[in-house]
Structure 1
Protein backbone atom coordinates (compact mmCIF):
# COMPACT_ATOMS: atom_id res chain seq x y z
CA UNK A 1 0.00 0.00 0.00
CA UNK A 2 1.48 3.29 -1.06
CA UNK A 3 0.20 5.56 1.66
CA UNK A 4 2.12 6.75 4.66
CA UNK A 5 0.80 5.82 8.07
CA UNK A 6 -0.13 9.46 8.60
CA UNK A 7 -2.05 9.64 5.30
CA UNK A 8 -4.01 6.50 6.17
CA UNK A 9 -4.75 7.86 9.65
CA UNK A 10 -5.99 11.21 8.26
CA UNK A 11 -8.21 9.54 5.65
CA UNK A 12 -9.73 7.15 8.19
CA UNK A 13 -10.27 9.92 10.73
CA UNK A 14 -11.92 12.23 8.19
CA UNK A 15 -14.18 9.42 6.99
CA UNK A 16 -15.29 8.54 10.50
CA UNK A 17 -15.96 12.22 11.21
CA UNK A 18 -17.97 12.74 8.03
CA UNK A 19 -19.70 9.36 7.62
CA UNK A 20 -19.97 7.99 11.15
CA UNK A 21 -18.23 5.43 13.30
CA UNK A 22 -19.45 2.45 11.27
CA UNK A 23 -18.01 3.67 7.96
CA UNK A 24 -15.75 1.22 6.14
CA UNK A 25 -12.88 2.93 4.34
CA UNK A 26 -10.89 1.20 1.60
CA UNK A 27 -7.95 2.28 -0.49
CA UNK A 28 -8.21 0.89 -4.00
CA UNK A 29 -6.75 1.51 -7.42
CA UNK A 30 -3.10 2.09 -8.25
CA UNK A 31 -2.02 3.00 -4.70
CA UNK A 32 -2.72 -0.56 -3.58
CA UNK A 33 0.12 -1.81 -5.81
CA UNK A 34 3.53 -1.35 -4.18
CA UNK A 35 5.21 -2.07 -7.52
CA UNK A 36 4.00 1.12 -9.21
CA UNK A 37 4.54 4.81 -8.59
CA UNK A 38 2.41 7.92 -8.80
CA UNK A 39 -1.32 7.86 -9.24
CA UNK A 40 -4.14 9.49 -7.38
CA UNK A 41 -5.55 8.23 -4.10
CA UNK A 42 -8.77 6.28 -4.68
CA UNK A 43 -10.94 5.91 -1.59
CA UNK A 44 -14.13 3.86 -1.30
CA UNK A 45 -16.37 4.57 1.66
CA UNK A 46 -19.27 2.35 2.65
CA UNK A 47 -21.59 4.00 5.15
CA UNK A 48 -25.03 3.63 6.61
CA UNK A 49 -27.64 4.95 4.16
CA UNK A 50 -28.44 7.95 6.36
CA UNK A 51 -24.74 8.92 6.34
CA UNK A 52 -23.94 8.17 2.68
CA UNK A 53 -25.00 11.62 1.55
CA UNK A 54 -23.60 14.34 -0.68
CA UNK A 55 -23.24 16.58 2.39
CA UNK A 56 -21.12 13.95 4.12
CA UNK A 57 -18.96 13.56 1.01
CA UNK A 58 -18.42 17.33 0.83
CA UNK A 59 -17.46 17.35 4.52
CA UNK A 60 -15.03 14.48 3.95
CA UNK A 61 -13.43 16.19 0.96
CA UNK A 62 -13.07 19.45 2.91
CA UNK A 63 -11.42 17.66 5.83
CA UNK A 64 -9.02 15.85 3.51
CA UNK A 65 -8.20 19.06 1.66
CA UNK A 66 -7.33 20.77 4.95
CA UNK A 67 -5.31 17.90 6.40
CA UNK A 68 -3.45 16.34 3.46
CA UNK A 69 -1.20 17.86 0.84
CA UNK A 70 -2.33 15.60 -1.98
CA UNK A 71 -3.11 16.83 -5.47
CA UNK A 72 -5.78 14.27 -6.31
CA UNK A 73 -8.08 12.15 -4.20
CA UNK A 74 -11.01 10.34 -5.81
CA UNK A 75 -13.86 9.39 -3.51
CA UNK A 76 -16.60 6.82 -4.10
CA UNK A 77 -19.41 6.62 -1.54
CA UNK A 78 -21.72 3.65 -1.23
CA UNK A 79 -24.77 3.26 0.99
CA UNK A 80 -24.63 0.01 2.92
CA UNK A 81 -27.29 -2.39 1.66
CA UNK A 82 -27.76 -0.63 -1.68
CA UNK A 83 -27.26 -2.49 -4.93
CA UNK A 84 -23.54 -2.71 -5.61
CA UNK A 85 -22.13 -0.95 -8.64
CA UNK A 86 -19.09 -2.27 -10.53
CA UNK A 87 -16.84 0.21 -8.69
CA UNK A 88 -18.12 -0.98 -5.30
CA UNK A 89 -17.42 -4.60 -6.20
CA UNK A 90 -13.94 -3.71 -7.50
CA UNK A 91 -13.07 -1.75 -4.36
CA UNK A 92 -14.25 -4.60 -2.13
CA UNK A 93 -12.38 -7.20 -4.15
CA UNK A 94 -9.09 -5.34 -4.69
CA UNK A 95 -9.08 -2.71 -1.97
CA UNK A 96 -7.36 -2.55 1.38
CA UNK A 97 -9.41 -1.56 4.43
CA UNK A 98 -7.87 1.30 6.36
Structure 2
Protein backbone atom coordinates (compact mmCIF):
# COMPACT_ATOMS: atom_id res chain seq x y z
CA UNK A 1 0.00 0.00 0.00
CA UNK A 2 1.44 3.32 -1.05
CA UNK A 3 0.10 5.65 1.61
CA UNK A 4 2.23 7.14 4.35
CA UNK A 5 1.17 6.91 7.98
CA UNK A 6 0.41 10.66 7.80
CA UNK A 7 -1.88 10.13 4.80
CA UNK A 8 -3.68 7.23 6.48
CA UNK A 9 -4.21 9.29 9.62
CA UNK A 10 -5.49 12.27 7.63
CA UNK A 11 -7.98 10.12 5.71
CA UNK A 12 -9.29 8.37 8.80
CA UNK A 13 -9.63 11.67 10.71
CA UNK A 14 -11.41 13.48 7.86
CA UNK A 15 -13.90 10.64 7.40
CA UNK A 16 -14.46 10.18 11.15
CA UNK A 17 -15.47 13.85 11.44
CA UNK A 18 -18.41 13.03 9.16
CA UNK A 19 -19.19 9.55 10.50
CA UNK A 20 -17.13 8.00 13.31
CA UNK A 21 -18.53 4.56 12.44
CA UNK A 22 -17.59 4.67 8.75
CA UNK A 23 -15.13 2.15 7.34
CA UNK A 24 -12.60 3.41 4.81
CA UNK A 25 -10.85 1.32 2.15
CA UNK A 26 -8.08 2.25 -0.26
CA UNK A 27 -8.49 0.61 -3.66
CA UNK A 28 -6.97 1.01 -7.10
CA UNK A 29 -3.34 1.52 -8.08
CA UNK A 30 -2.20 2.80 -4.68
CA UNK A 31 -2.75 -0.66 -3.19
CA UNK A 32 0.06 -2.01 -5.41
CA UNK A 33 3.56 -1.26 -4.09
CA UNK A 34 5.07 -1.97 -7.52
CA UNK A 35 3.13 0.74 -9.34
CA UNK A 36 3.96 4.44 -9.41
CA UNK A 37 1.79 7.52 -9.21
CA UNK A 38 -1.94 7.23 -9.30
CA UNK A 39 -4.71 9.00 -7.50
CA UNK A 40 -6.04 8.13 -4.08
CA UNK A 41 -9.16 5.99 -4.57
CA UNK A 42 -11.23 5.63 -1.41
CA UNK A 43 -14.35 3.63 -0.67
CA UNK A 44 -16.26 4.88 2.36
CA UNK A 45 -18.79 2.42 3.74
CA UNK A 46 -21.28 4.54 5.68
CA UNK A 47 -25.05 4.55 6.07
CA UNK A 48 -24.91 8.08 7.52
CA UNK A 49 -22.91 9.66 4.69
CA UNK A 50 -24.79 7.73 1.99
CA UNK A 51 -28.11 9.01 3.36
CA UNK A 52 -26.93 12.60 3.81
CA UNK A 53 -25.87 15.32 1.40
CA UNK A 54 -23.23 13.09 -0.15
CA UNK A 55 -21.78 15.71 -2.50
CA UNK A 56 -21.25 18.28 0.26
CA UNK A 57 -19.82 15.72 2.67
CA UNK A 58 -17.39 14.28 0.11
CA UNK A 59 -16.32 17.80 -0.84
CA UNK A 60 -15.64 18.58 2.84
CA UNK A 61 -13.53 15.42 3.18
CA UNK A 62 -11.52 16.21 0.04
CA UNK A 63 -10.96 19.83 1.13
CA UNK A 64 -9.71 18.69 4.54
CA UNK A 65 -7.35 16.21 2.89
CA UNK A 66 -6.03 18.90 0.53
CA UNK A 67 -5.42 21.18 3.53
CA UNK A 68 -3.52 18.47 5.40
CA UNK A 69 -1.75 16.67 2.54
CA UNK A 70 -1.56 19.18 -0.29
CA UNK A 71 -3.29 19.11 -3.64
CA UNK A 72 -3.62 15.64 -5.11
CA UNK A 73 -6.22 13.69 -7.05
CA UNK A 74 -8.63 11.99 -4.67
CA UNK A 75 -11.63 9.94 -5.79
CA UNK A 76 -14.20 8.95 -3.20
CA UNK A 77 -17.01 6.42 -3.55
CA UNK A 78 -19.60 6.27 -0.77
CA UNK A 79 -21.83 3.26 -0.25
CA UNK A 80 -24.09 2.11 2.55
CA UNK A 81 -23.71 -1.54 1.55
CA UNK A 82 -22.42 -3.75 -1.23
CA UNK A 83 -25.63 -3.87 -3.27
CA UNK A 84 -23.93 -1.96 -6.11
CA UNK A 85 -21.37 -3.95 -8.14
CA UNK A 86 -18.73 -1.20 -8.02
CA UNK A 87 -18.82 -1.12 -4.22
CA UNK A 88 -18.45 -4.92 -4.10
CA UNK A 89 -15.42 -4.84 -6.41
CA UNK A 90 -13.75 -1.94 -4.59
CA UNK A 91 -14.31 -3.65 -1.25
CA UNK A 92 -12.97 -6.98 -2.50
CA UNK A 93 -9.82 -5.39 -3.96
CA UNK A 94 -9.38 -2.72 -1.29
CA UNK A 95 -7.31 -2.43 1.84
CA UNK A 96 -9.03 -1.22 5.01
CA UNK A 97 -7.42 1.85 6.55
TM-score range, shorter chain: 0.7 to 0.9
Structure 1 segments of 4 or more deviating over 3 A?
none
Matches within 5 A, 1:1-80: 1-18=1-18, 20-48=19-47, 50-52=48-50, 53-78=54-79, 80=80
Query: Scaled by the length of structure 1, what TM-score is found?
Result: 0.86
The more displaced of 37-46 and 85-94 is: 85-94
More helix by proportion, 1 or 2? 2
| Equivalent residues, number | 94
Unaligned runs of 5+ in 1: none
Work out whether residues 31 and 95 of structure 2, in 8 Å CA contact, stay in contact via their aligned partners in 1.
yes
Q: CA deviation at 1:70?
A: 4.0
Query: Scaled by the length of structure 2, what TM-score is found?
Result: 0.87
Which string of whole-angstrom CA distances, capped at 9 and with x for unpartnered residues, describes residues 19-58 of structure 1? x11101000000000111111110110112x322222212
